[in-house]
Structure 1
């Protein structure tokens, strides 16, 4: 029993020895626990200064912005205030509506799409070629002189004619026979206009804008004694009962040919012949024939284009030199 008592005594002695200080230790522990709990609550409460004084929500927002993501609404914003007002579209919606890809892509049934499709399908017959010096709807200033036309033949190679209301065009505006066959309205100051057809070229010293009229035509504007008068002139697309004719030049064969169009209402911009590879444009000469030096297309279909872009297709004609062959075709009046 002594042994048992002996074993208990040290415990009782320790208990006795610690009793005087147990109360203060428990108090200190309690205070420390409370302090720790307070510290944890302060550290992790919303808006606290945990993480080195940086707002975790703010850190996430900054990181998202740096990564290119849209910025989140602040925690204080309500769901209602975060939604865009119907009266004020969001910037994203505005950019989308005004983006080139959205505005430049009409629906399949929209007028813009239909107009673009119609333009793309416009036949070549309405595509005007590059305009020459003499343009429709333009009035030109110049001077008029007079000359004796003789039998009416001239640089345009139309041959003799009884038509005396003709004129020779200055070299610049003659433009390698592009003016041949053009009808021109000519007016002197204070007078009535007259209409003449270009059948010849007036070389230097004729100046740009100058017309050398037949004597008969000049006399309708002023006395021949005037010699030289100021005029204005412009291109016409007149009414006519005539139709276009085709003439092969003297010496033409299937191996070489020159082709001329006669009687066209509007100035001629191009003459093409049908070949195995399509249409071939022939070169125009100053004497108003279109040449096929190698005979390509001689005797085949002929396509004529006026300065307005209208095209006439003439069926294949036999190569008959110096013979006028009627087509029954005519360009539209403008």
Structure 2
């Protein structure tokens, strides 16, 4: 009996060991399955996250690429500047300011107003000319004014010759037009030669001449008041010789000098000093000033718009006295 009991116990122990081993194998198998499933889920999750993460990046890159393309397009094909506009059509008086001989098709960029425009280049035949140039025809209008005794902004004083005119402020150009002889023609074929002795202030437009009644009457009845004209610079045949006058108040310490009766417009006036020739500034009332008196009473040199120079000696420092020189510029 004891032997049987021992065998039975041994059998049970073996069965328990087998069950234990089998249960252990089953647990290991379940763990492997669980680990495999978990790993699969983790991998799947990672893949899903990667897909979700990469999708916005592609959208952002596309957005950045589109923005870059727009910028590159603007840089490659710049739009027209909003500050530049086509200049408005000028009024007839503004068009007439430019010589017809030099007329060109207007450019797209705005043209400066006549009052602020840079001085026009002179042709080779008149290197010192200002706005009024030889061999050029200007268009404008002629108006009429009572010239009185013939004096005006050019400070020439009274005159018996009333074939005179006032030049618009733009073409007057700080008295550069003073003394110029101008041939004026009307549409009806009539013409008259006038000398510029005065300035016609605004609203006189570029190209406009304000004629004395005597001169206007050569072109049309005075009652007309305003007519279309063309005009051009002249170098007359017989103006006589020119004269020099010192301004009232001139002295060895300050003086103003004026040239009168010159055939061609003046470009500059110089005085001789101990240091050489000194150019004097021109005023809008047509005197050349030496504010410190240097050169006053000494030799004078004047130059016309064609570049011819005349040196004048022996002019005394006598204010308000017209002193003839016996010389004159050449005709052109």
Query: TM-score, normalization: structure 2?
Result: 0.62
1:283 alignment partner, one of 281, 284, 301: 281
In structure 2, the CA distance between the partners of 1:136 and 1:127, relative to structure 1 (3 Å rule), is: closer
Q: What residue in structure 2 maps to residue 228 of structure 1?
A: 226
Correspondences of 1:1-334 after superposition (within 5 Å): 129-334=127-332
Q: What residue in structure 2 maps to residue 82 of structure 1?
A: none
Distance, in Å, in 1 between the alignment partners of 2:127 and 2:317 is 28
Stretches of structure 1 that go unaligned for 5 or more consecutive residues are: 1-125
Q: CA deviation at 1:241?
A: 4.7
The size of the alignment, in residue pairs, is: 209
Q: What residue in structure 1 maps to residue 87 of structure 2?
A: none
Q: CA deviation at 1:190?
A: 2.7
Distance, in Å, in 1 between the alignment partners of 2:126 and 2:263 is 16
Distance, in Å, in 1 between the alignment partners of 2:283 and 2:203 is 22
1:215-256 Cα shifts (integer Å, max 9, x gaps)? 011111111121110000000000115101000000000110
Query: TM-score, normalization: structure 1?
Result: 0.61
Stretches of structure 2 that go unaligned for 5 or more consecutive residues are: 1-123
Distance, in Å, in 2 between the alignment partners of 1:212 and 1:165 is 11
Q: CA deviation at 1:278?
A: 1.2
In structure 2, the CA distance between the partners of 1:316 and 1:135, relative to structure 1 (3 Å rule), is: same
Would you say the 8 A contact 2:128–2:307 is kept in 1?
Answer: no
Give the secondary-structure state (helix, strand or coil) at the position aligned to 2:189: coil
In structure 2, the CA distance between the partners of 1:319 and 1:127, relative to structure 1 (3 Å rule), is: farther
Would you say the 8 A contact 1:184–1:196 is kept in 2?
Answer: yes
Distance, in Å, in 1 between the alignment partners of 2:126 and 2:227 is 34
Distance, in Å, in 2 between the alignment partners of 1:130 and 1:261 is 17
Give the secondary-structure state (helix, strand or coil) at the position aligned to 1:201: strand
Distance, in Å, in 1 between the alignment partners of 2:227 and 2:273 is 49
